[in-house]
Amino acid sequence: MIDVRRDFPQLRRRIKGKPLVYLDSAATSLKPRQVIKKEQEYYTRYCANVFRGIYRTSEEATEEFENARTKVAAFIGAKESSEVIFTRNTSESINLVASSMKKTDEVVVTIMEHHSNFVPWQQLAKLKVWKLGEDGRLDIGELETLITRKTRLLAITAVSNVLGTISPIRHICRIVKKINPNCLVLVDAAQAAPHMKINVQDWGVDFVAFSSHKMLGPTGVGVLWGRRELLEQLPPYQYGGEMIKEVHVDRTIFADLPHKFEAGTPHIAGVIGLGAAVDYLQFLGMGAVRKHEIEITDYALNALKSVKGVTMYGPPHSKDRGGVIAFTLKGIHAHDIAQLLDEDNVCIRAGHHCAMPLHEYLKIPATARASFYVYTTRQDIDALVIGLEKIKKIFQ
Protein backbone atom coordinates (compact mmCIF):
# COMPACT_ATOMS: atom_id res chain seq x y z
CA MET A 1 0.00 0.00 0.00
CA ILE A 2 1.15 3.56 -0.63
CA ASP A 3 2.76 5.39 2.27
CA VAL A 4 -0.07 7.22 3.97
CA ARG A 5 1.74 8.53 7.03
CA ARG A 6 2.22 12.03 5.69
CA ASP A 7 -1.57 12.38 5.59
CA PHE A 8 -1.84 11.98 9.36
CA PRO A 9 -0.75 15.21 11.08
CA GLN A 10 -0.73 13.64 14.53
CA LEU A 11 2.08 11.31 13.52
CA ARG A 12 4.36 14.33 13.22
CA ARG A 13 3.83 15.25 16.85
CA ARG A 14 6.73 14.57 19.18
CA ILE A 15 6.39 14.28 22.91
CA LYS A 16 9.58 14.81 24.88
CA GLY A 17 11.43 14.58 21.58
CA LYS A 18 10.09 11.12 20.82
CA PRO A 19 7.88 10.15 17.87
CA LEU A 20 4.37 8.86 18.39
CA VAL A 21 3.94 5.09 18.18
CA TYR A 22 0.18 4.79 18.02
CA LEU A 23 -0.94 1.22 18.58
CA ASP A 24 -4.48 1.85 19.77
CA SER A 25 -6.43 2.15 16.54
CA ALA A 26 -9.05 -0.36 17.70
CA ALA A 27 -10.09 2.24 20.29
CA THR A 28 -10.10 5.06 17.75
CA SER A 29 -8.17 5.75 14.58
CA LEU A 30 -6.06 8.78 13.79
CA LYS A 31 -7.57 11.17 11.23
CA PRO A 32 -6.09 12.07 7.85
CA ARG A 33 -5.86 15.73 6.81
CA GLN A 34 -8.49 15.13 4.11
CA VAL A 35 -11.10 14.35 6.77
CA ILE A 36 -10.05 17.24 9.00
CA LYS A 37 -10.18 19.59 6.02
CA LYS A 38 -13.63 18.43 4.98
CA GLU A 39 -15.03 18.94 8.47
CA GLN A 40 -13.45 22.38 8.56
CA GLU A 41 -14.93 23.14 5.16
CA TYR A 42 -18.43 22.72 6.56
CA TYR A 43 -17.73 25.09 9.43
CA THR A 44 -16.04 27.69 7.25
CA ARG A 45 -18.05 27.57 4.02
CA TYR A 46 -21.56 26.19 4.29
CA CYS A 47 -22.39 25.98 7.99
CA ALA A 48 -26.18 25.82 8.19
CA ASN A 49 -28.70 23.34 9.44
CA VAL A 50 -29.70 20.52 7.14
CA PHE A 51 -33.16 19.88 5.64
CA ARG A 52 -34.55 23.14 7.02
CA GLY A 53 -33.39 26.10 5.01
CA ILE A 54 -34.50 26.96 1.53
CA TYR A 55 -31.46 29.16 1.06
CA ARG A 56 -28.39 28.05 -0.86
CA THR A 57 -26.01 27.43 2.08
CA SER A 58 -28.45 25.12 3.79
CA GLU A 59 -29.05 23.30 0.55
CA GLU A 60 -25.30 22.90 0.13
CA ALA A 61 -24.96 21.49 3.66
CA THR A 62 -27.89 19.11 3.03
CA GLU A 63 -26.36 17.96 -0.23
CA GLU A 64 -22.97 17.24 1.38
CA PHE A 65 -24.73 15.46 4.25
CA GLU A 66 -26.76 13.26 1.94
CA ASN A 67 -23.74 12.63 -0.29
CA ALA A 68 -22.04 11.15 2.74
CA ARG A 69 -25.02 8.82 3.24
CA THR A 70 -24.78 7.69 -0.40
CA LYS A 71 -21.03 7.07 0.01
CA VAL A 72 -21.55 5.00 3.16
CA ALA A 73 -24.31 3.00 1.47
CA ALA A 74 -22.03 2.19 -1.48
CA PHE A 75 -19.14 1.39 0.89
CA ILE A 76 -21.12 -1.37 2.60
CA GLY A 77 -23.07 -2.58 -0.44
CA ALA A 78 -26.47 -1.37 0.78
CA LYS A 79 -29.34 -1.56 -1.69
CA GLU A 80 -30.34 2.05 -1.04
CA SER A 81 -29.02 4.96 0.97
CA SER A 82 -32.26 5.32 2.97
CA GLU A 83 -31.26 2.10 4.74
CA VAL A 84 -28.32 3.97 6.29
CA ILE A 85 -29.19 5.66 9.59
CA PHE A 86 -26.76 8.06 11.21
CA THR A 87 -26.42 7.65 14.96
CA ARG A 88 -23.78 8.71 17.50
CA ASN A 89 -21.76 5.48 17.46
CA THR A 90 -21.95 1.69 17.28
CA SER A 91 -23.39 1.55 20.78
CA GLU A 92 -26.31 3.80 19.86
CA SER A 93 -26.95 1.87 16.64
CA ILE A 94 -27.27 -1.36 18.62
CA ASN A 95 -29.39 0.28 21.33
CA LEU A 96 -31.74 1.53 18.63
CA VAL A 97 -32.50 -2.02 17.51
CA ALA A 98 -32.56 -3.42 21.06
CA SER A 99 -35.06 -0.78 22.16
CA SER A 100 -37.62 -2.28 19.81
CA MET A 101 -37.39 -5.79 21.28
CA LYS A 102 -39.64 -7.33 23.88
CA LYS A 103 -38.54 -8.59 27.29
CA THR A 104 -39.54 -12.09 26.34
CA ASP A 105 -37.41 -12.23 23.21
CA GLU A 106 -34.73 -14.89 23.10
CA VAL A 107 -31.36 -13.47 22.08
CA VAL A 108 -28.11 -15.32 21.35
CA VAL A 109 -24.77 -13.50 21.68
CA THR A 110 -21.17 -14.67 21.49
CA ILE A 111 -18.90 -14.62 24.52
CA MET A 112 -16.48 -12.29 22.70
CA GLU A 113 -18.92 -9.40 22.25
CA HIS A 114 -17.99 -5.88 23.21
CA HIS A 115 -20.26 -4.61 26.02
CA SER A 116 -22.00 -2.54 23.34
CA ASN A 117 -23.34 -5.71 21.79
CA PHE A 118 -23.91 -7.53 25.07
CA VAL A 119 -25.40 -5.23 27.68
CA PRO A 120 -28.32 -3.90 25.56
CA TRP A 121 -29.50 -7.49 24.93
CA GLN A 122 -28.89 -8.51 28.52
CA GLN A 123 -31.50 -5.94 29.57
CA LEU A 124 -34.15 -7.88 27.67
CA ALA A 125 -33.85 -11.42 28.91
CA LYS A 126 -31.41 -14.09 29.96
CA LEU A 127 -28.90 -14.40 27.19
CA LYS A 128 -27.91 -17.57 25.45
CA VAL A 129 -24.15 -17.36 25.03
CA TRP A 130 -22.12 -18.87 22.22
CA LYS A 131 -18.76 -19.94 23.63
CA LEU A 132 -15.47 -20.27 21.80
CA GLY A 133 -13.78 -23.27 20.34
CA GLU A 134 -10.08 -23.70 19.83
CA ASP A 135 -7.79 -20.72 19.29
CA GLY A 136 -10.54 -18.24 20.09
CA ARG A 137 -12.71 -19.21 17.14
CA LEU A 138 -16.41 -19.91 17.22
CA ASP A 139 -17.45 -23.52 17.01
CA ILE A 140 -19.96 -23.36 14.17
CA GLY A 141 -21.44 -26.73 15.16
CA GLU A 142 -22.63 -25.23 18.45
CA LEU A 143 -24.87 -22.83 16.58
CA GLU A 144 -27.32 -25.62 15.84
CA THR A 145 -27.90 -26.17 19.54
CA LEU A 146 -28.25 -22.44 20.29
CA ILE A 147 -30.62 -21.17 17.61
CA THR A 148 -34.16 -22.45 18.01
CA ARG A 149 -37.51 -21.66 16.45
CA LYS A 150 -37.97 -19.25 19.34
CA THR A 151 -34.74 -17.25 18.86
CA ARG A 152 -35.51 -13.66 17.96
CA LEU A 153 -32.00 -12.40 17.24
CA LEU A 154 -28.33 -13.37 17.01
CA ALA A 155 -25.98 -10.51 17.94
CA ILE A 156 -22.47 -11.18 16.71
CA THR A 157 -19.27 -9.28 16.13
CA ALA A 158 -17.64 -9.59 12.70
CA VAL A 159 -14.20 -9.05 14.26
CA SER A 160 -13.44 -9.35 17.97
CA ASN A 161 -11.82 -6.24 19.44
CA VAL A 162 -9.76 -8.45 21.78
CA LEU A 163 -9.00 -11.73 20.03
CA GLY A 164 -9.07 -10.34 16.52
CA THR A 165 -11.18 -13.37 15.55
CA ILE A 166 -12.97 -12.90 12.23
CA SER A 167 -16.37 -14.59 12.24
CA PRO A 168 -17.61 -16.14 8.98
CA ILE A 169 -20.75 -13.99 8.99
CA ARG A 170 -22.18 -15.16 5.66
CA HIS A 171 -21.86 -18.81 6.60
CA ILE A 172 -23.25 -18.22 10.10
CA CYS A 173 -26.19 -16.24 8.76
CA ARG A 174 -27.10 -18.98 6.32
CA ILE A 175 -27.17 -21.58 9.10
CA VAL A 176 -29.25 -19.33 11.35
CA LYS A 177 -31.82 -18.61 8.66
CA LYS A 178 -32.04 -22.30 7.78
CA ILE A 179 -32.90 -23.18 11.37
CA ASN A 180 -35.19 -20.22 11.88
CA PRO A 181 -35.93 -17.89 8.95
CA ASN A 182 -37.45 -15.37 11.36
CA CYS A 183 -34.34 -15.08 13.52
CA LEU A 184 -32.72 -11.69 12.95
CA VAL A 185 -28.95 -11.30 12.68
CA LEU A 186 -27.29 -8.12 13.90
CA VAL A 187 -23.61 -7.68 13.15
CA ASP A 188 -21.31 -5.44 15.16
CA ALA A 189 -18.95 -4.31 12.42
CA ALA A 190 -17.07 -1.72 14.52
CA GLN A 191 -13.79 -3.58 13.93
CA ALA A 192 -14.64 -4.86 10.47
CA ALA A 193 -15.92 -1.91 8.43
CA PRO A 194 -12.66 0.06 8.86
CA HIS A 195 -10.42 -2.84 7.84
CA MET A 196 -11.97 -5.03 5.16
CA LYS A 197 -14.50 -4.93 2.40
CA ILE A 198 -17.93 -5.67 3.78
CA ASN A 199 -21.12 -6.25 1.85
CA VAL A 200 -24.27 -6.30 3.92
CA GLN A 201 -26.30 -7.99 1.19
CA ASP A 202 -23.72 -10.64 0.57
CA TRP A 203 -23.62 -11.35 4.31
CA GLY A 204 -27.40 -11.81 4.21
CA VAL A 205 -27.83 -10.20 7.63
CA ASP A 206 -30.52 -7.84 8.93
CA PHE A 207 -28.69 -5.09 10.82
CA VAL A 208 -25.09 -3.85 10.81
CA ALA A 209 -23.61 -1.29 13.20
CA PHE A 210 -20.28 0.57 13.09
CA SER A 211 -18.56 3.82 14.11
CA SER A 212 -17.02 6.59 12.04
CA HIS A 213 -14.23 7.26 14.51
CA LYS A 214 -12.62 3.84 14.04
CA MET A 215 -12.48 4.24 10.24
CA LEU A 216 -10.56 7.52 9.96
CA GLY A 217 -13.70 9.63 10.41
CA PRO A 218 -14.78 12.06 13.13
CA THR A 219 -16.01 11.01 16.54
CA GLY A 220 -19.70 11.33 17.38
CA VAL A 221 -21.06 9.58 14.29
CA GLY A 222 -22.21 6.00 13.98
CA VAL A 223 -24.06 4.02 11.36
CA LEU A 224 -26.91 1.60 11.58
CA TRP A 225 -27.72 -0.22 8.39
CA GLY A 226 -30.91 -2.27 8.30
CA ARG A 227 -33.03 -3.93 5.67
CA ARG A 228 -35.72 -1.48 4.56
CA GLU A 229 -38.70 -3.66 5.43
CA LEU A 230 -37.36 -4.20 8.94
CA LEU A 231 -36.50 -0.55 9.55
CA GLU A 232 -39.99 0.37 8.42
CA GLN A 233 -41.47 -1.93 11.04
CA LEU A 234 -39.31 -0.60 13.89
CA PRO A 235 -40.78 2.19 16.01
CA PRO A 236 -38.81 5.46 16.18
CA TYR A 237 -35.98 5.44 18.72
CA GLN A 238 -36.25 9.08 19.70
CA TYR A 239 -38.96 11.66 19.11
CA GLY A 240 -38.71 15.32 18.16
CA GLY A 241 -37.74 17.57 15.30
CA GLU A 242 -36.97 16.36 11.80
CA MET A 243 -38.32 12.85 12.33
CA ILE A 244 -41.92 13.77 11.55
CA LYS A 245 -44.11 14.32 8.53
CA GLU A 246 -47.03 15.93 10.38
CA VAL A 247 -47.72 16.78 13.98
CA HIS A 248 -51.20 17.53 15.30
CA VAL A 249 -52.36 17.99 18.86
CA ASP A 250 -53.67 14.46 18.99
CA ARG A 251 -51.29 12.55 16.69
CA THR A 252 -48.03 12.52 14.76
CA ILE A 253 -47.16 10.97 11.43
CA PHE A 254 -43.51 9.98 11.32
CA ALA A 255 -41.13 10.77 8.49
CA ASP A 256 -39.97 8.15 6.01
CA LEU A 257 -36.64 6.38 6.27
CA PRO A 258 -33.99 7.30 7.20
CA HIS A 259 -35.29 10.47 8.90
CA LYS A 260 -37.70 8.56 11.14
CA PHE A 261 -34.65 7.54 13.19
CA GLU A 262 -32.75 10.83 13.10
CA ALA A 263 -34.48 13.11 15.59
CA GLY A 264 -32.98 16.56 16.10
CA THR A 265 -29.98 18.25 14.49
CA PRO A 266 -27.41 15.60 13.59
CA HIS A 267 -23.62 15.87 13.81
CA ILE A 268 -23.52 17.51 10.39
CA ALA A 269 -19.78 18.17 10.20
CA GLY A 270 -19.08 14.68 11.51
CA VAL A 271 -21.24 12.98 8.91
CA ILE A 272 -19.65 15.04 6.12
CA GLY A 273 -16.24 14.12 7.56
CA LEU A 274 -17.23 10.46 7.51
CA GLY A 275 -17.99 10.86 3.79
CA ALA A 276 -14.41 12.07 3.32
CA ALA A 277 -13.10 9.12 5.35
CA VAL A 278 -14.98 6.74 3.08
CA ASP A 279 -13.49 8.51 0.04
CA TYR A 280 -10.04 8.11 1.56
CA LEU A 281 -10.52 4.38 2.25
CA GLN A 282 -11.95 3.84 -1.24
CA PHE A 283 -8.94 5.64 -2.70
CA LEU A 284 -6.62 3.26 -0.83
CA GLY A 285 -8.83 0.30 -1.75
CA MET A 286 -10.20 -1.99 0.96
CA GLY A 287 -8.25 -4.89 -0.53
CA ALA A 288 -5.01 -2.97 0.00
CA VAL A 289 -6.11 -1.92 3.51
CA ARG A 290 -6.74 -5.53 4.47
CA LYS A 291 -3.50 -6.72 2.82
CA HIS A 292 -1.51 -4.23 4.86
CA GLU A 293 -3.34 -5.35 8.00
CA ILE A 294 -2.50 -9.00 7.38
CA GLU A 295 1.16 -8.14 6.74
CA ILE A 296 1.55 -5.98 9.81
CA THR A 297 -0.36 -8.43 12.04
CA ASP A 298 1.81 -11.25 10.78
CA TYR A 299 4.94 -9.25 11.55
CA ALA A 300 3.62 -8.37 15.01
CA LEU A 301 2.61 -11.96 15.83
CA ASN A 302 6.12 -13.14 15.00
CA ALA A 303 7.81 -10.24 16.77
CA LEU A 304 5.79 -10.75 19.96
CA LYS A 305 6.45 -14.49 19.83
CA SER A 306 10.13 -13.68 20.22
CA VAL A 307 9.51 -11.93 23.56
CA LYS A 308 9.84 -14.54 26.29
CA GLY A 309 6.91 -14.54 28.71
CA VAL A 310 4.39 -13.14 26.22
CA THR A 311 1.12 -15.05 25.78
CA MET A 312 -1.08 -13.98 22.87
CA TYR A 313 -4.77 -14.66 22.53
CA GLY A 314 -6.88 -15.43 19.49
CA PRO A 315 -6.30 -17.31 16.23
CA PRO A 316 -2.62 -17.99 15.44
CA HIS A 317 -2.73 -16.96 11.77
CA SER A 318 -3.04 -13.38 10.59
CA LYS A 319 -5.46 -14.30 7.80
CA ASP A 320 -8.00 -15.41 10.44
CA ARG A 321 -7.79 -12.22 12.45
CA GLY A 322 -8.08 -8.47 12.36
CA GLY A 323 -5.32 -6.10 13.32
CA VAL A 324 -5.53 -6.45 17.11
CA ILE A 325 -3.31 -8.50 19.39
CA ALA A 326 -4.22 -8.92 23.04
CA PHE A 327 -1.41 -10.33 25.15
CA THR A 328 -0.11 -10.80 28.67
CA LEU A 329 3.47 -10.65 29.89
CA LYS A 330 4.29 -13.12 32.65
CA GLY A 331 4.35 -11.56 36.10
CA ILE A 332 3.60 -8.01 34.92
CA HIS A 333 0.16 -6.43 35.01
CA ALA A 334 -1.22 -5.10 31.73
CA HIS A 335 -1.67 -1.63 33.24
CA ASP A 336 2.02 -1.48 34.21
CA ILE A 337 2.95 -2.46 30.66
CA ALA A 338 0.82 0.29 29.13
CA GLN A 339 2.03 2.88 31.61
CA LEU A 340 5.71 2.09 31.11
CA LEU A 341 5.40 1.97 27.33
CA ASP A 342 3.85 5.42 27.48
CA GLU A 343 7.17 6.77 28.76
CA ASP A 344 8.52 6.03 25.28
CA ASN A 345 5.39 7.44 23.63
CA VAL A 346 4.16 3.95 22.69
CA CYS A 347 0.37 3.93 23.03
CA ILE A 348 -1.36 0.64 23.71
CA ARG A 349 -4.51 -0.26 25.63
CA ALA A 350 -4.73 -2.26 28.86
CA GLY A 351 -7.69 -3.72 30.72
CA HIS A 352 -10.75 -5.68 29.68
CA HIS A 353 -11.37 -3.64 26.50
CA CYS A 354 -15.11 -3.51 27.24
CA ALA A 355 -15.23 -7.29 26.96
CA MET A 356 -15.43 -8.43 30.59
CA PRO A 357 -17.43 -11.62 29.88
CA LEU A 358 -14.66 -12.73 27.51
CA HIS A 359 -11.91 -12.02 30.05
CA GLU A 360 -13.84 -13.91 32.73
CA TYR A 361 -14.28 -16.81 30.31
CA LEU A 362 -10.55 -16.82 29.54
CA LYS A 363 -9.84 -16.46 33.28
CA ILE A 364 -7.57 -13.46 32.85
CA PRO A 365 -8.20 -10.18 34.69
CA ALA A 366 -6.72 -7.97 31.99
CA THR A 367 -4.75 -7.99 28.77
CA ALA A 368 -2.53 -5.50 27.01
CA ARG A 369 -3.69 -4.80 23.45
CA ALA A 370 -1.82 -3.47 20.45
CA SER A 371 -3.92 -2.60 17.42
CA PHE A 372 -3.00 -1.49 13.94
CA TYR A 373 -4.22 0.46 10.97
CA VAL A 374 -3.19 1.81 7.59
CA TYR A 375 -0.42 3.99 9.05
CA THR A 376 1.13 1.30 11.28
CA THR A 377 4.69 0.37 10.34
CA ARG A 378 7.12 -2.39 11.23
CA GLN A 379 9.11 0.23 13.13
CA ASP A 380 6.06 0.77 15.36
CA ILE A 381 6.02 -2.95 16.18
CA ASP A 382 9.79 -2.92 16.76
CA ALA A 383 9.32 -0.03 19.22
CA LEU A 384 6.71 -2.11 21.08
CA VAL A 385 9.04 -5.10 21.32
CA ILE A 386 11.97 -2.94 22.49
CA GLY A 387 9.66 -1.40 25.09
CA LEU A 388 8.51 -4.81 26.35
CA GLU A 389 12.09 -6.03 26.72
CA LYS A 390 12.89 -2.87 28.67
CA ILE A 391 9.92 -3.44 30.98
CA LYS A 392 10.99 -7.02 31.63
CA LYS A 393 14.38 -5.73 32.81
CA ILE A 394 12.70 -3.30 35.23
CA PHE A 395 10.66 -6.14 36.76
CA GLN A 396 13.53 -8.63 36.89
Residues assigned a catalytic role: 354
- Strand locations in 13-138, DSSP E? 14-15, 18-19, 21-22, 84-87, 106-110, 128-130
Residue 7 binds ligand PMP, judged by CB under 6 A:
no
For residue 199, the Cα-to-chain-centroid distance in whole angstroms is 15
Q: Tell me which of 25, 29, 62, 91 binds ligand PMP, using CB under 6 A.
A: 91
Q: How far is the CB of 351 from ligand PMP (least distance, A)?
A: 11
153 contacts 183 by C-beta, under 8 angstroms: yes
Query: Please, which residues bridge with residue 312 across strands?
Result: 327
CA distances to 108, 128, 153, 199, 205 from 124, rounded to whole Å, are 11, 12, 12, 29, 21
Is residue 175 exposed (0-12), middle (13-18) or buried (19+ Cβ within 10 Å)?
Answer: middle
Is residue 349 helix, strand or coil? strand
Q: How far is the CB of 347 from ligand PMP (least distance, A)?
A: 15
Residue 157 binds ligand PMP, judged by CB under 6 A:
yes
Residue 188 binds ligand PMP, judged by CB under 6 A:
yes
Residues 161, 162, 168, 174, CA torsion sign: negative
Measured from the Cβ of residue 268, the count of other Cβ atoms closer than 10 Å reads 23
User: Please, which of residues 40-79 interact with ligand PMP by CB under 6 A?
Assistant: none
Q: Using CB under 6 A, which of the segments 39-47, 183-191, 258-266, 343-351 binds ligand PMP?
A: 183-191
| Nearest residue to 205 (alpha-carbon basis) of 225, 188, 185 | 185
User: Please, which of residues 223-262 interact with ligand PMP by CB under 6 A?
Assistant: none
Q: How far is the CB of 27 from ligand PMP (least distance, A)?
A: 6
Backbone angles phi, psi at 98, to 5 degrees: -60, -30
Q: Tell me which of 89, 165, 345, 367 binds ligand PMP, using CB under 6 A.
A: 89
Q: Tell me which of 62, 151, 165, 191 binds ligand PMP, using CB under 6 A.
A: 191
Residue 25 binds ligand PMP, judged by CB under 6 A:
no
Task: Give me the 101-140 binding string for ligand PMP, x by CB under 6 A, dash otherwise.
Answer: -------------x-xx-----------------------
Q: Tell me which of 62, 90, 297, 318 binds ligand PMP, using CB under 6 A.
A: 90
| Contacts with ligand PMP, residue ranges (CB under 6 A) | 26-27, 89-91, 114, 116-117, 157, 161, 188, 190-191, 211, 354
